[in-house]
Amino acid sequence: MFELLSGRGIGNCPSSYAFIYLFNTFTILGTNPPSDAGPLYYIWSAFLNTFCIIFSPFLCTVGFIMKYMQSTITTMQFLSGIQAGTNVLGIPPKCLTLAFSLKRMRSIEPLLDVMDARYTDPEDVALIRQAAIMGNRLVFGFGMTYLTYMLLTITPPLISGNVPLSIWIPFLDENQSTLHHLMQVVMDLFLMFFLLFHQVVNDSYGTVYIYVIRTHLRLLIRRVERLCVNGEKSVEDNMAELVDCVTTHQQILRWVIYFIFITHGGLRFSCCLYILYIISMLILPHSNKHSMKEEVFPEFC
């Protein structure tokens, strides 16, 4: 598996290999079931995505509100927690959009195989191999970046004997006993790890696709530059090569359209969700908002 990062021990590989780490991450997150997936996989998928995607914004926000009302965190920590909960709110639409677009994303692999078959020159094959390796390196780099962020975030609270996130878990009080404290820490780490794992997929897939698209554009430019250079080819052969270059360009454009649909579809879905959330907050009765303000921010009232 790690030979896809170093490039050692593997020969020529197709462009579709650039997405191996990406789709394996989807499989771990329960949105890309393998062909031999059994009931346990779907149970894991339902549990993970329900807990991390659906309930995480609510659990994070309620947890920080309860901590603030108990005067166990400062106002700045509370506001930072609300900001984190708002950021988590953007994960569900992005994850759902990618999950529903996964079949469309995977449908590009046969097209890549057809495009790769047109290139037999050693330099072209080397470019394809480089793109396949770099795609996996990009996903791995995103993963290491988020893992470093997680370690830097959880280390200070754990050293001081506190919990990392303080998400709200019913019937669980971290101050009640050591067992409750350990369970709270485990749940916080579990939620944070898989939320960041989702973010790795959300943020890296576009980079990988753009890199592979860029590689095939470079290959197409090289083909066009070689037209009519070989004197041994007839006019008919050069014309057939030109027509094939036009076909390749159309296939790349079709691929770009798929990518734009996936990217902007998720963005529009996220914006719609944010707008609905803001509208729902604005249409709350004034009395309810005033009473909520007195309960959560008593010192400002």
pLDDT tens per residue, range 168-182: 777 777 777 888 888
Query: What is the Cα 266 distance to its own chain's centre?
Result: 11
Rg from Cα positions in the chain:
25
Per-residue pLDDT tens over the stretch 49-89: 888 877 777 777 677 677 667 666 666 556 666 666 666 77
Q: How many residues does the chain have?
A: 301
- The more confident residue out of 157 and 21 is 21
pLDDT for position 143: 92
For 115-157, the pLDDT digits (tens) are 888 888 889 899 999 999 999 999 999 999 999 988 988 888 8
Tokens of 110: 């046969």
**Confidence band for 192, pLDDT divided at 50, 70 and 90:** confident
- State the Cα–Cα distance between residues 134 and 18, nearest whole angstrom: 7
What average pLDDT does the structure give for the chain? Answer: 77
Sequence letter at residue 145: T
- If you search the block for the tokens 């106002």, which residue do you land on? 75
Distance CA 12, CA 125 (A): 7
* pTM reported for the whole predicted model: 0.77
Residue 96 scores a pLDDT above 80:
no
Summarize the confidence of residues 12-28 as an average pLDDT: 90
Would you say the C-alpha torsion 235, 236, 239, 244 has a positive or negative sign?
negative
Provide the pLDDT for residue 166.
73
Query: How does residue 261 score in pLDDT terms, banded at 50, 70 and 90?
Result: low
Structure confidence at residue 80 (pLDDT) = 60
Portion of the chain with pLDDT greater than 70, in percent? 77
pLDDT at position 238 is: 76
Tell me: pLDDT of 214 over 80.
yes
Average pLDDT over residues 220-234: 80
pLDDT of residue 102: 80
Domain residue extents for the chain: 18-116+136-300
User: What does the alpha-carbon distance between residue 19 and residue 109 come to, in Å, rounded to a whole number?
Assistant: 9
Residue 140 has what pLDDT? 93
Question: Among 13-27, 176-190, 254-268, whose mean pLDDT is lowest?
Answer: 254-268
The band of 165, judged by pLDDT with boundaries at 50, 70 and 90, is confident
For residue 290, pLDDT over 90 is answered with no
Q: Return d(Cα 258, Cα 213) in angstroms, integer.
A: 12
> CA-based angle 213:214:220, to the nearest 5?
90
Residue 166's region, left for phi above 0, alpha for psi from -120 to 50, else beta, is left
209 pLDDT above the threshold of 80: yes
Residue found by looking up tokens 């390796």 in the block: 133
